Structure 1
């Protein structure tokens, strides 16, 4: 009796097709996989045969999915569809029990897997670590740890990042500094947002020992999707400098900041750059630049190798200039 039961289960399992999402394209192609996300005009379909495939939303005829998806027809509100059913060309049916609704594909701005508590929360970030130990005529130990994270819900986006650098040569410390930044963005439209930000930097070696910056201003989000993001912002800052000899400077400045990242070659590589260029409104300093540029190679969905270059310049202060360049390579995690 037991053997017959096991045989029945085996036959039932073998004859039951694996659940998969289906996308019909306007050119006649039919693709199957698992819908990951739709944002920024691209539908990301996860497949066994080609990995993650980005599809142009305008080239999709209709689609079908048996998974729950949060479907948003504007930037801030949406509904959770229990499934998606194919409809006539250019449309899809949102199945919600006894009240299915057919909508135009062109009216959908975003689709994602719903979160259990806050359905439209999008949280992403990375942590990178680089260690370099050299044992020769001069022994050198070099440490670098950096993190960056962003969480968005509705009209609001919160961002945080920080970094720690330390280098010793023959047990003498030549670099020892850390920095932290927090900002909050309030989206006014789908693309425009207003930012408030506070930054603190502490250096135990350079003459410029402390930097405190508080700023606010408008920004524009060009895109933010599964393949990357790009934003530009302008800030009016209040900056305070404190030097190792006890002297202080404070001034107002105007700044332009950027944040760009892009996934390439099937999301294997990620190119990224971010930074800020500022110009004081008084004669305390000539200009300031704090920029980062790098490349990540993804080993898995969460692990990566990274290489990056960092440039920090403050020119023309009353107590001398700051001009440092740092190159690192290491291991990181992303989410």
Structure 2
């Protein structure tokens, strides 16, 4: 397959600048966060008491930031009472969401969430997610950054991969940003590059339903793809949502515009079905497994089918630092670039930091 046009090479040359801007933005944002008073109180079922700032409940772990012990992760099943006068979003396993401060109930099997409409009593073990709802912009963000690099002297090959994820939360809304980049270079072979940027916004409703709006951008010279710009949306539901696992189904439609070296522009309308599964283990080391499958048949070009599969395994080896293994497989049954591969498959490992 011949080399990509000059415009693609120019875009790739700006890649280190993009990485630098992202790294500086990510590293700067936690430092810019103003701390609130750490007066939340968590009573454990063994009688111990922890005072600090509740950051969130996610994947069955209640994360608390304290003045003297730093970050403390507490298994939710070991929590007896929670007290905080600050504003939180509390989500149940059935998809219900409540907003307000968290106060202990006279029955230890429940927690009271007190909002503008007054207190609501919730079964404690049905709570699957607690998120801060602070007024400061930067405090609503969380995310992760991971970087991997390898060099083999025998065949003079280098591999670099970068991953960034960020989430911005408002009441009943969640916006996610994700960037994945893979660059492989080997002596006497053409450099292969794969860059993807995804922007998703979810609006949550009752009973685990949500709507989704998305914008994706992808470059993959192994598939002969200069740039694919995609916009669309759909309706989804969390089929399973517990403190240990999540299974999510999303269906909708897409409009895509693709640029290939031999064809400057191809537009198409597509259907989309996405199934994702996430499971967690919080016995040391903390582990997370994520699997995502998207099937995208073309409506304007019958017979063309795109499939995107990805999986991730994450181990936290130190507080906020983790090791990650990623695998992806992209398939295009009938892309306009006839000489390009139909499949692009890759595996990478990296070290990352969650913030």
TM-score by length of 2: 0.69
- State the 1:143 CA deviation: 0.7
Gaps of 5+ in 2: 1-39
Indicate yes or no: 2:346 matched with 1:326.
yes
Equivalent residue, structure 1, for 2:269 = 252
Indicate yes or no: 2:227 matched with 1:210.
yes
- State the 1:76 CA deviation: 5.0
Q: In 2, distance between residues paired with 1:154 and 1:218? A: 19
After superposition, the CA RMSD in angstroms is 3.8
Equivalent residue, structure 1, for 2:297 = 279
Could you say which structure has the higher helix fraction? Answer: 2
Equivalent residue, structure 2, for 1:32 = 48
**Partner of 2:192: helix, strand, or coil?**
strand
**Residues 139-196 of structure 1, C-alpha deviation per residue, up to 9 Å, x if partnerless?**
0011111212222211221111112221111275420231211121222335111111
**Residues 277-296 of structure 1, C-alpha deviation per residue, up to 9 Å, x if partnerless?**
11112335531112211211
Aligned 8 A contact 1:236 1:254 in 2: yes
**Residues 24-50 of structure 1, C-alpha deviation per residue, up to 9 Å, x if partnerless?**
5xxxxx45354855578x57487x9x9
The alpha-carbon distance between structure 1 residues 92 and 152, as it changes in their structure 2 partners (threshold 3 A), is closer
Q: In 1, distance between residues paired with 2:308 and 2:227? A: 15
Give runs of aligned pairs for residues 154-165 of structure 1, distance below 5 A: 154-165=171-182
Q: In 2, distance between residues paired with 1:168 and 1:277? A: 30
- State the 1:77 CA deviation: 4.7
**Partner of 1:78: helix, strand, or coil?**
strand
Equivalent residue, structure 1, for 2:76 = 54
The alpha-carbon distance between structure 1 residues 90 and 64, as it changes in their structure 2 partners (threshold 3 A), is closer
TM-score by length of 1: 0.73
**Partner of 2:273: helix, strand, or coil?**
strand
Equivalent residue, structure 2, for 1:87 = 106
Indicate yes or no: 2:21 matched with 1:21.
no
Q: Which has the higher contact order (CA 8 A, sep 6+)?
A: 2
**Residues 202-245 of structure 1, C-alpha deviation per residue, up to 9 Å, x if partnerless?**
23564222212111110113466765644221120112222111
Equivalent residue, structure 1, for 2:201 = 184
The alpha-carbon distance between structure 1 residues 255 and 55, as it changes in their structure 2 partners (threshold 3 A), is same
Equivalent residue, structure 2, for 1:201 = 218
